């Protein structure tokens, strides 16, 4: 803890006192973050719910990303879209038309406002409620789904507060329902191949990883890109009021699986820091002039947020968030082991000691024939034309496959809560002058015996 910052001031500054009241009786950790609450539910090592022959789906939020998922689900056997919910009636009509064009039954529409998902969950007999909505709705929709007897799947991040992370965990345990944070980048070609390589021991012992979300979103935040990509400027509003890694899971999801996080390993603590916030104000001035309210707005989100995570096994992970700067897209993927390393950006390269020429990169593609992940090869043809190079289809297919076969999902509520917790924890660390902040253990010790994700196939 920084010299001169006593415990009382630290609690006041980081807001942990209020969090402690919200979550009940809790103890302080040595890193300044509250420990996990004493829940009344019991952790489940690997939830396997009864198999479902036909998965009846209610979809909340059928805009850009949600619309893509809906099209995927219409292409997957054993799925029935029973209901669609959106605040915009035109999106309901679009979704219903897509279902009819696919030769499916017209789903019931729900569009009476942002909380109409509650009426949908209460009225419909659903197996899965899937949502792609603004971040603040992810937890309420998932919780309502599980309370009314459905499994839940949500776009990322699964929660944006620690309270939300714990609420999804407790609800999933109470009702024994899946609650999946749908991280599509877990299913991208390179990330899947690296997972296969890691499971084969190609890199030796894993030591370090780098990842992140580096995506120039200025035009989309201000609604000058594919408008309205973020209706009512909801993502811009987060950039105004919060300073932390607001979108950590695209890079961290695959890394967590590589390092067996919540499955034999865990995140111990993180340290985060932020650069000045400049990009959004400069963009507002350029777009609207110096006298516009958005040009005079103070933006909390630093242009570059850097987080360093330490794992139980001693590994380090560097996570970067940058959505306000002019730059090409990157997720900064890199994995380093005792035998070599591989990276994804800006070019896909690999170096393995004893195989590669000394001190020289090789093209990662040269290893694809031996290490291509079987899940990709088995679904590549079916995934053609789907969003983000097909990985969106693969993640949807795997979710439905697991539900239909009654098997544990590839990513469960514990992994989703852990990678999503970076949002709140990074914000706390930055607010406390980059003090280390401890990760909650959402598994409450089960991480020690939970099995790592295997090499699955369709």
Same domain, 435 and 287: yes
Same domain, 377 and 248: yes
Neighbour order of strands in the sheet with 340-343: 362-363, 349-352, 340-343, 334-337, 206-214, 316-322, 305-311, 267-274, 437-438
220: number of Cβ within 10 Å? 19
In a domain, 403, yes or no: no
Distances (CA, A) of 296 to 223, 260, 283: 18, 45, 11
**pTM (predicted TM-score):** 0.92
In a domain, 373, yes or no: yes
In a domain, 100, yes or no: yes
Residue 161 has pLDDT above 80, yes or no: yes
Could you report the per-residue pLDDT of 247-271, keeping only the tens digit for each? 999 999 999 999 999 999 999 999 9
The predicted model gives 121-125 an average pLDDT of: 98
Q: CA–CA separation, 348 vs 362, rounded Å?
A: 9
- In terms of phi and psi (left: phi > 0; alpha: psi -120 to 50; beta: otherwise), the region of 229 is alpha
Same domain, 121 and 250: no
pLDDT value at position 89? 97
Mean confidence (pLDDT) of the chain:
93
Q: What is the CATH number for 268?
A: 3.30.360.10
Domain enclosing residue 218, as ranges = 186-393+414-448
The predicted model gives 178-201 an average pLDDT of: 98
Q: CA–CA separation, 2 vs 225, rounded Å?
A: 42
The predicted model gives 226-241 an average pLDDT of: 86
Same domain, 228 and 203: yes
The predicted model gives 286-293 an average pLDDT of: 96
Cβ-in-10-Å burial (0-12, 13-18, 19+) of 228 comes to middle
> How many CA atoms within 13 Å lie on the side-chain side of 353?
8
In a domain, 211, yes or no: yes
User: What single-letter DSSP state applies at residue 50?
Assistant: P
pLDDT value at position 5? 40
Distances (CA, A) of 219 to 200, 212, 237, 363: 42, 20, 14, 34
Last residue of a domain, one of 184, 213, 243: 184
Last residue of a domain, one of 139, 167, 184: 184
Cβ-in-10-Å burial (0-12, 13-18, 19+) of 201 comes to exposed
pLDDT value at position 310? 98
Residue 13 has pLDDT above 60, yes or no: no
Last residue of a domain, one of 184, 218, 242: 184
The residues that bridge with 4 in the sheet, in sequence order, are none
Could you report the per-residue pLDDT of 94-121, keeping only the tens digit for each? 999 999 999 999 999 999 999 999 999 9
pLDDT value at position 232? 87
Could you report the per-residue pLDDT of 219-229, keeping only the tens digit for each? 999 987 655 67
In a domain, 49, yes or no: no
In a domain, 321, yes or no: yes
Local confidence band at 294 (pLDDT 50, 70, 90 cut-offs) = very high
pLDDT value at position 387? 84
CB–CB of 152/412 below 8 Å? no
In a domain, 44, yes or no: no
CB–CB of 168/143 below 8 Å? yes
Phi, psi of 296 (to 5 degrees): -100, 0
pLDDT value at position 103? 98
Same domain, 230 and 167: no
Residue 76 has pLDDT above 70, yes or no: yes
Same domain, 243 and 383: yes
pLDDT value at position 31? 66
Same domain, 205 and 179: no
Local confidence band at 36 (pLDDT 50, 70, 90 cut-offs) = confident
Same domain, 260 and 237: yes
Percent of the chain scoring above 90 in pLDDT: 88
Of all helices (H) and strands (E), which one includes residue 151?
A: strand 151-154
Same domain, 151 and 61: yes
The predicted model gives 298-314 an average pLDDT of: 98
pLDDT value at position 29? 54
Could you report the per-residue pLDDT of 338-380, keeping only the tens digit for each? 999 999 999 999 999 999 999 999 999 999 999 999 999 999 9
CB–CB of 206/194 below 8 Å? no
Q: What is the CATH number for 137?
A: 3.40.50.720
pLDDT value at position 66? 97
- Which position has the token pair 């899946």? 178
Q: CA–CA separation, 58 vs 245, rounded Å?
A: 30
Same domain, 64 and 174: yes
Residue 18 has pLDDT above 90, yes or no: no
Same domain, 318 and 260: yes
In a domain, 30, yes or no: no
Could you report the per-residue pLDDT of 403-427, keeping only the tens digit for each? 999 999 999 999 999 999 999 999 9
- Count of structural domains within the chain: 2
Name the residue among 156, 153, 98, 100 with its Cα closest to residue 126: 153
Same domain, 196 and 242: yes
Cβ-in-10-Å burial (0-12, 13-18, 19+) of 251 comes to buried
Q: CA–CA separation, 172 vs 165, rounded Å?
A: 11
């Amino acid at each position: 803890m920084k010299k001169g910052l006593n415990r009382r001031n630290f609690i006041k500054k980081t807001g942990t006192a209020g969090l402690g009241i919200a979550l009940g009786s809790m103890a302080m950790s040595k890193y300044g973050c509250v420990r996990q609450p004493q829940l009344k539910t019991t952790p489940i090592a690997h939830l396997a719910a009864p198999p479902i022959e036909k998965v009846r789906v209610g979809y909340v939020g059928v805009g850009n990303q949600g619309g893509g998922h809906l099209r995927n689900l219409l292409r997957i056997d054993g799925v029935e879209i029973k209901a669609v919910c959106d605040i915009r009636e035109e999106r309901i009509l679009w979704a219903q038309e897509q279902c009819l064009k696919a030769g499916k039954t017209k789903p019931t529409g729900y569009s009476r406002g942002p909380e109409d998902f509650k009426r949908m969950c209460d009225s419909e007999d659903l197996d899965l409620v899937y949502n792609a909505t603004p971040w603040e709705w992810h937890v309420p929709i998932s919780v309502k789904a599980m309370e009314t007897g459905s499994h839940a799947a949500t776009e990322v991040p699964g929660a944006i507060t620690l309270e939300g992370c714990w609420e999804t965990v407790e609800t999933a345990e109470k009702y024994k329902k899946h609650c999946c944070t749908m991280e599509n980048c877990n299913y991208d070609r390179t990330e899947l191949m690296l997972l296969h390589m890691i499971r084969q021991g190609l890199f030796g012992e894993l030591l370090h990883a780098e990842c992140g979300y580096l995506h120039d979103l200025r035009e989309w935040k201000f609604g000058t890109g594919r408008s309205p990509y973020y209706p009512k400027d909801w993502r811009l509003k987060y950039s105004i009021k919060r300073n932390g890694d607001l979108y950590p899971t695209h890079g961290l999801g695959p890394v967590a699986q590589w390092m067996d996080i919540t499955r034999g390993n865990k995140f111990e603590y993180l340290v985060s820091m932020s650069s000045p916030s400049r990009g959004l104000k400069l963009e507002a001035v350029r777009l609207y002039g110096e006298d516009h309210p958005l040009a005079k707005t103070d933006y909390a989100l630093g242009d570059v947020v850097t987080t360093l995570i330490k794992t139980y096994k001693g590994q380090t992970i560097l996570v970067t968030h940058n959505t306000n700067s002019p730059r090409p897209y990157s997720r900064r993927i890199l994995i380093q082991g005792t035998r070599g390393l591989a990276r994804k950006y800006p070019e896909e390269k690999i170096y393995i000691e004893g195989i590669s020429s000394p001190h020289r990169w090789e093209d990662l593609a040269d290893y694809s024939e031996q290490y291509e992940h079987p899940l990709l090869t088995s679904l590549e043809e079916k995934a053609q034309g789907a969003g983000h190079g097909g990985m969106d289809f693969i993640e949807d297919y795997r979710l439905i496959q697991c539900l239909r076969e009654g098997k544990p999902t590839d990513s469960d509520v514990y992994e989703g809560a852990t990678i999503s917790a970076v949002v709140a924890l990074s914000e706390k660390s930055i607010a406390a002058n980059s003090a280390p902040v401890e990760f909650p253990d959402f598994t409450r010790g089960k991480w020690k015996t939970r099995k790592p994700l295997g090499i699955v196939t369709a």
